[in-house]
């Protein structure tokens, strides 16, 4: 049904194009008709029928004027959805009148001389040939014109019954089917060209429409990607905040319950919070990689700094699970995204801790063809050969003797695989069941550069230093938990939800500020970098500062790094915060 309607509409469009072409040629048809009519009057003037010829010429002129008016009316309607059949019928009426006048002249002014008869026959044939060029696109008009113009003249030639006249009549009569055949061939070609042009236009319109649809779909997909990116950034920030508060509250509670029997309960709460943080990190990292919004910011950097940071973090984690951690330091420079490479290695180390019951974990490097391979060794459960091909799949978990104590989602290695592919790094695996595994990621060599002292990670002192720490965070739970924890460590603390409030507190206290800790995402679209700038400007000196954020966008880390400001992602362990403060105080 739909195809039939489409075909019918297409044929109506073709007919409209044929009528347009018919009327487009009307000015030339009228002009040629008037000129040839004047020539015909001149040829027949010697017959002496002067008044009849003038009346005939006036009739031709009036008819030409009527056709001209019809053409003007059509031009005002050609861009509308006009009725092509109705306009075609109007045109045919005038064409039939024109052909009838010509046929009438051939009969009424039939000459007696052979010369004039031959000239008259020639004029009629020329007019019929011209009709082919003008009316072939609309065959009904041409057939009517030719039959009315030539057939009466041919019959009149036979009426005289003279040999010459009958011969002329026979020639004209035989010319009629030839003329109509030629007009049909030309008409078919013209109509086919109209069909082809319109079909091409339909295809062009369809392609244009598909392109517009594809463009809209692409714009919608890009907008959806941007919306999802913003959502993930917001979700990352908002979900990490309570997990961070839980870590700091539980750490402060553990300190206050040092000699209390409930200390173990506080430690269990803290351990549960860390598991929740690990699961949250895995889900957010995996969703980012799955959305293909990871955009590596590749640079050259010393891999030793990254490994040292991981060593400090996982030395504590390993010890908490009864494992030894060893770092084989490297002075090599590599080319990668330091943030994403750190995620890869952190997931590998987390996996090693999870699946190692006794023994040790080692983080080190090995020179290989094409670059430097950073390896994570463990003495864990190992991976059977038939499982190694699928180990980097999503939600894949090996049998873990400690499964009941520390569950996971099976996303760690899937995240590693996604990030490695995004960076173009090659992963490797060697494993023996019940003896352990070695995961490696091969990174290209980097060009050594001058190293800034600001990037060095200084070993914290063995005692707390009395200092004033200012915390700027718009989450009240973060302010309360961090304040409680820092006060338990012996620091003086001020907490504010904006840079303006923080400056007001400093003015009221009159104290010098030692360390500034800020969240990245603050109210009124302010950032942690904005807050650091305002507070440093008030203090008049570069207060040692750091950003703690739930946002994981690489652009944030790049902006902070450019200013030499450490940026740590929430949730971070209390011990890591303590080392951060100690290092900031050393600067």
Distance between CA atoms of 351 and 152, rounded to whole angstroms?
Answer: 104
Question: 514 with 469: CB under 8 angstroms?
Answer: yes
Question: 26 with 63: CB under 8 angstroms?
Answer: no
Distance between CA atoms of 322 and 316, rounded to whole angstroms?
Answer: 10
Q: pLDDT per residue over 200-220, tens digit each?
A: 887 888 888 888 888 888 888
Distance between CA atoms of 100 and 80, rounded to whole angstroms?
Answer: 32
Print burial letters for 34-73: b (CB count within 10 Å at least 16), e (below 16).
eebbeebbebbeeeeeeeebeebbeebeebbeebeebbee
pLDDT at res. 404: 42
DSSP string for residues in 368-430: ETTEEEEEEEE-SS---HHHHTTTTSTT-----TTTTTS---S-HHHHHHHHHHHHTPEEEEE
Neighbours of 453 (CB within 10 A): 8
Question: 420 with 546: CB under 8 angstroms?
Answer: no
User: Encoding tokens for residue 83?
Assistant: 């009725």
pLDDT tier at 379, thresholds 50, 70, 90: very high
Q: Inform me whether the pLDDT recorded for 567 exceeds 60.
A: yes
Q: Nearest Cα to 277, choosing from 248, 252, 254?
A: 248
User: Encoding tokens for residue 298?
Assistant: 């590749």
3-state secondary structure 298-362: CEEEEHHHHHHHHHHHHHHHHHHCCCEEEECCCCCEEEECHHHHHHHHHHHHHHHHHCCCCCEEE
Structure-model confidence comparison of residues 271 and 496, the more confident one: 496
pLDDT tier at 228, thresholds 50, 70, 90: low
Question: 150 with 103: CB under 8 angstroms?
Answer: yes
Compute, in degrees rounded to 10, the torsion defined by CA atoms 559, 291, 411, 248.
40
Out of 64-73, 403-412, 574-583, give the one with best mean pLDDT.
Answer: 64-73
DSSP string for residues in 199-230: HHHHHHHHHHHHHHHHHHHHHHHHHHHHHHHH
Q: pLDDT per residue over 12-58, tens digit each?
A: 888 888 888 888 888 888 888 888 888 888 888 877 788 888 999 89
Distance between CA atoms of 62 and 220, rounded to whole angstroms?
Answer: 63
DSSP string for residues in 442-476: EEEE----PPPGGG--PPPPSS----EEEEE-S-H
Structure-model confidence comparison of residues 200 and 229, the more confident one: 200
Question: 308 with 343: CB under 8 angstroms?
Answer: no
Q: pLDDT per residue over 290-322, tens digit each?
A: 445 556 778 888 999 889 888 887 888 888 888
Handedness of CA 17, 20, 24, 26 (dihedral sign): positive
Strands 333-336 and 371-378: unpaired
Task: Give the side-chain half-sphere CA count within 13 A for 251.
Answer: 27
pLDDT tier at 377, thresholds 50, 70, 90: very high
3-class secondary-structure state, position 535: helix
3-class secondary-structure state, position 548: strand
Q: Inform me whether the pLDDT recorded for 170 exceeds 50.
A: yes
Question: 372 with 426: CB under 8 angstroms?
Answer: no
pLDDT at res. 283: 55
Distance between CA atoms of 370 and 577, rounded to whole angstroms?
Answer: 37
Q: Nearest Cα to 65, choosing from 30, 105, 104?
A: 30
Q: pLDDT per residue over 322-373, tens digit each?
A: 899 999 988 999 999 887 888 889 888 988 888 888 899 999 999 988 899 9
Angle at 317 between CA 316 and CA 322, to 5 degrees: 95
Q: Inform me whether the pLDDT recorded for 560 exceeds 90.
A: no
Domains recognised in the chain with CATH numbers: 2-211 (no CATH), 298-449 (3.30.565.10)
Question: 353 with 314: CB under 8 angstroms?
Answer: yes
Print burial letters for 272-291: b (CB count within 10 Å at least 16), e (below 16).
ebbebbbebbbbbbbbbbee
User: Encoding tokens for residue 383?
Assistant: 């991976």
């Amino acid at each position: 049904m739909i195809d039939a309607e489409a075909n019918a509409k297409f044929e109506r469009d073709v007919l409209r194009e044929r009528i347009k072409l018919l009327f487009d040629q009307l000015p030339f048809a009228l002009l040629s008709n008037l000129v040839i009519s004047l020539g015909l009057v001149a040829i027949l003037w010697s017959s002496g029928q002067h008044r009849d010829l003038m009346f005939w010429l006036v009739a031709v002129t009036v008819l030409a004027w009527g056709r001209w008016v019809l053409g003007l009316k059509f031009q005002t309607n050609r861009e509308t959805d006009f009725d092509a059949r109705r306009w075609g019928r109007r045109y045919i009426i005038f064409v039939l009148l024109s052909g009838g006048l010509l046929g009438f002249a051939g009969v009424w002014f039939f000459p007696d001389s052979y010369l004039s008869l031959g000239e008259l026959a020639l004029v009629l044939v020329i007019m019929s040939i011209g009709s082919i060029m003008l009316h072939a696109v609309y065959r009904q008009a041409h057939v009517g014109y030719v039959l009315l113009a030539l057939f009466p003249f041919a019959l009149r030639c036979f009426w005289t019954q003279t040999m010459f006249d009958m011969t002329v009549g026979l020639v004209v009569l035989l010319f009629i089917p030839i003329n109509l055949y030629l007009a049909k061939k030309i008409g078919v070609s013209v109509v086919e060209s109209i069909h082809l042009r319109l079909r091409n236009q339909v295809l062009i319109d369809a392609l244009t429409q598909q392109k517009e649809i594809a463009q809209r779909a692409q714009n919608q997909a890009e907008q959806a990607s941007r919306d999802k990116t913003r959502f993930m950034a917001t979700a990352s920030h908002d979900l990490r905040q309570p997990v961070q508060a839980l870590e700091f509250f539980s750490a402060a509670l553990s300190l206050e319950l040092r000699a209390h029997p409930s200390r173990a309960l506080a430690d269990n709460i803290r351990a549960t919070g860390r598991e929740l943080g690990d699961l949250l990190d895995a889900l957010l990292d995996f969703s980012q990689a799955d959305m293909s919004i990871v955009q590596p910011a590749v640079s050259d950097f010393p891999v030793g700094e990254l490994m040292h940071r991981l060593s400090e973090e996982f030395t504590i984690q390993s010890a908490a699970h009864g494992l030894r951690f060893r770092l084989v330091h490297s002075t090599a420079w590599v080319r990668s995204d330091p943030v994403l490479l750190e995620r890869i290695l952190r997931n590998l180390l987390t996996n090693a801790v999870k699946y190692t019951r006794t023994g040790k974990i080692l983080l080190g490097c090995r020179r290989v063809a094409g670059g430097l391979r950073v390896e994570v060794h463990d003495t864990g459960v190992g991976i059977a050969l038939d499982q190694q091909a699928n180990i980097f799949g999503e939600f894949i978990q090996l049998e873990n003797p400690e499964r009941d104590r520390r569950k996971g989602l099976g996303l760690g290695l899937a995240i590693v695989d996604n990030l490695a592919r995004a960076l173009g790094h090659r992963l490797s695996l060697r494993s023996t069941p019940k003896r352990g595994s070695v995961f490696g990621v091969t990174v290209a060599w980097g060009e050594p550069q001058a190293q800034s002292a600001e990037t060095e990670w200084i070993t914290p002192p063995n005692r707390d230093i009395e200092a004033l720490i200012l915390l700027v965070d718009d989450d009240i739970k973060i302010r309360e938990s961090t304040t409680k924890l820092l006060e338990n460590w012996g620091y003086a603390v001020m907490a504010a939800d904006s840079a303006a409030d923080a400056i007001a507190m400093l003015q009221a206290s009159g104290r010098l500020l030692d360390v500034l800790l800020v969240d990245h995402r603050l109210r009124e679209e302010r950032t942690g970098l904005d807050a650091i700038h305002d507070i440093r400007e008030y203090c008049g000196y570069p207060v040692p500062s750091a950003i703690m954020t739930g946002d994981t966008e690489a652009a944030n880390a790049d902006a902070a790094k450019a200013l030499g400001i450490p940026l740590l992602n929430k949730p971070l362990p209390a011990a890591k915060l303590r080392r951060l403060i100690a290092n900031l105080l050393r600067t």
